[in-house]
Amino acid sequence: MSQDPLTRRRTVREGLWPVLRLLCAILILVAIWQQAATTFSRAVANGSDVATTVANFFSFFTILSNIAALLVLAVAAVRVLRAEGQDGREPRSLSFALASASSYMILTGIVYNVLLRQIPLDQGATVPWSNEVLHVVAPAFMLADVVWAPGRARLPWRAVLGVLVFPLAWVIYTLVRGPLVTSPATGNPWWYPYPFLDPHLQDGYGGVFAYVIGIAVVIAVIAVGVVAVGRARDRTSAAAGD
């Protein structure tokens, strides 16, 4: 018996999506690798402290959120490609990890394109295509994953609080570490990954906290939206008999 058009489209999407997830994970990995290689080799060439440069590189929210995305996308893709979860449903833990990574990546895309896009980049230190992948392409894919990826489990509203744990921990880490690190590039006795977190550029910590509160509200709204979309899609799938 032939499948109806809706069933055929759903079958194609279920077969295609893990491949797209895996391809996106690979693209993110290559982009991070290329940027890391450029950053670290430049540090060696300039005689900068390599250990500090490496620690700084992995202190960027962009890098950490992209690492989280590539890991969870790879796990989700391999799980399906290995024919696990024949009922088409992802474990709730995996759906939570996807929701978290999606929220962080969407935030990365918004913050970069609203606050950082106009800041001139050091063209000798920045790989342009990698920069676009990490700040635009990958966040856009993660947004699409929220909207169209099949199989995500329905998450409770309290999952929003879990999503917020990592950004909060990262802000605390960044503000505590910042004044303890000497910038390899400028020699200043402080280093912050983004100008809106640098109290020397924001007229003190009052300006920094204003940005932190604003971004906290944005990530909370994003997390609520991601969970809400997942819950709505779960109801739609159940009504359709998926």
Count of domains forming the chain = 1
| Residue partners of 60: CB distance under 8 A and separation at least 6 | 193, 194
What confidence score (pLDDT) does residue 241 get? 46
Residue 91 has pLDDT above 60, yes or no: yes
Residue 152 has pLDDT above 60, yes or no: yes
Mean pLDDT in residue range 59-72: 98
Comparison of pLDDT for 118 and 19, the residue scoring more = 19
What confidence score (pLDDT) does residue 6 get? 44
What confidence score (pLDDT) does residue 242 get? 46
What confidence score (pLDDT) does residue 84 get? 58
| Residue partners of 178: CB distance under 8 A and separation at least 6 | 190, 191, 192, 197, 198
Mean pLDDT in residue range 95-110: 97
Residue 88 has pLDDT above 80, yes or no: no
> pLDDT tens digit string along 182-210?
998 889 999 999 999 999 999 999 999 99
C-beta separation of 28 from 133 below 8 A: yes
Ranking 59-73, 79-93, 105-119, 153-167 by mean pLDDT, the lowest is 79-93
Q: What is the mean pLDDT of the chain?
A: 89
| Residue partners of 49: CB distance under 8 A and separation at least 6 | 43, 182, 184
Q: What is the domain range of residue 35?
A: 5-240
What confidence score (pLDDT) does residue 177 get? 97
What confidence score (pLDDT) does residue 56 get? 96
What is the pTM (predicted TM-score) of this model? 0.90
Gap between the Cα atoms of 73 and 159, Å rounded = 19
